[in-house]
Amino acid sequence: MTNKVYDSATAALADVVKDGQTLAVGGFGLCGIPEALIVALRDSGVKDLTCISNNAGVDDFGLGLLLQTRQIKKMIASYVGENKEFERQYLSGELEVELTPQGTLAEKLRAGGAGIPAFFTATGVGTQIADGKEEREFNGRKYILEDSLVADVALVKAQKADKAGNLVFNKTARNFNPDVATSGKITIVEVEELVEIGDIDPDQIHLPGIYVHRIVVNASPEKRIEKVTVKETTQG
């Protein structure tokens, strides 16, 4: 079996990422983002990227790091708040933005990974989202045709992987990550824990390793937004 495990995020990206590529990046806000892979992508110096992600992080974290260095040419996203540099670049015409409803974005990625080139949805009918798109009526309701998304490279965050690439996500940090993973021609996953093949109960696997090409371990991510909330107990 091919060894999927790499010593660092830099090594995992080294012969894969290139100027002008389309990248899909997992996460929702700052939750479940591949922190180390994003930093390595910034440090690689690749440019003119089209990035597909729910949002673009914040000014100094997540994909916001790549906006600071002008490595992103176009963002395909559903949310652009909390990032002043994103706003500035868009309003000044430096950054192309394709805003997509959140559910539609998830389905575009899922469909792309399933080999479905396009699909009809009622979301966006009668709005600017529908401009220039084919419209049809089914059972008395109008729908628009949306193209699916396939990425040259997908960057994903999971809690645990085995050496075959079978993944387990951590609660809501799963978010867009499975759909991003399946949409990539090459999928690189950043995990906090790596175990031997067979150590994960097959019924506990969230994403099978067939979708994963490379694995890198980041045992201590910063996780700016993922917090453990506990209830204080009252002494009786």
Q: For the domain that residue 87 is a member of, what is the CATH number?
A: 3.40.1080.10
Cα separation, 162 vs 197, whole angstroms: 5
pLDDT at residue 160 greater than cutoff 80: yes
Nearest partner of 105 among 88, 80, 82, 135, judged by Cα:
80
Give the residue numbers spanning the domain of 96: 5-122+148-217
Instruction: Work out the mean pLDDT of the chain and round it to a whole number.
Output: 95
Task: Evaluate whether residue 30 is within a structural domain.
Answer: yes
Task: Evaluate whether residue 11 is within a structural domain.
Answer: yes
Neighbours of 6 (CB within 10 A): 16
pLDDT one-digit tens code per residue, 7-62: 999 999 999 999 999 999 999 989 999 999 999 999 999 999 999 999 998 888 99
The C-alpha angle 201, 37, 146, rounded to 5 degrees, equals 80
**Radius of gyration of the chain from its Cα atoms, rounded to whole angstroms:** 19
Task: Evaluate whether residue 139 is within a structural domain.
Answer: no
Give me the amino acid identity at 163: K
Cα separation, 41 vs 147, whole angstroms: 27
Confidence of residue 236 (pLDDT cuts 50, 70, 90): low
At 61, list the tokens: 């974290």
Cα separation, 32 vs 160, whole angstroms: 12
pTM of the model: 0.93
Neighbours of 55 (CB within 10 A): 25
Higher pLDDT, 201 or 229: 201
Confidence of residue 77 (pLDDT cuts 50, 70, 90): very high
Give me the number of domains the chain comprises: 1
- The number of angstroms, rounded, from the C-alpha of 91 to the middle of its chain's C-alpha atoms is 24
Confidence of residue 230 (pLDDT cuts 50, 70, 90): confident
Task: Evaluate whether residue 227 is within a structural domain.
Answer: no
Cα separation, 131 vs 122, whole angstroms: 13
Task: Evaluate whether residue 228 is within a structural domain.
Answer: no
Task: Evaluate whether residue 90 is within a structural domain.
Answer: yes
At 80, list the tokens: 């652009």
pLDDT one-digit tens code per residue, 124-155: 999 999 999 999 999 999 999 999 999 999 99
Nearest partner of 62 among 35, 97, 89, judged by Cα:
35
Cα separation, 72 vs 146, whole angstroms: 23
β 214-217/184-195 pair status: parallel
Nearest partner of 178 among 147, 220, 212, judged by Cα:
212
Alpha carbon separation from 183 to 14, 30, 91, 110, 148 (Å, rounded): 20, 20, 30, 7, 9
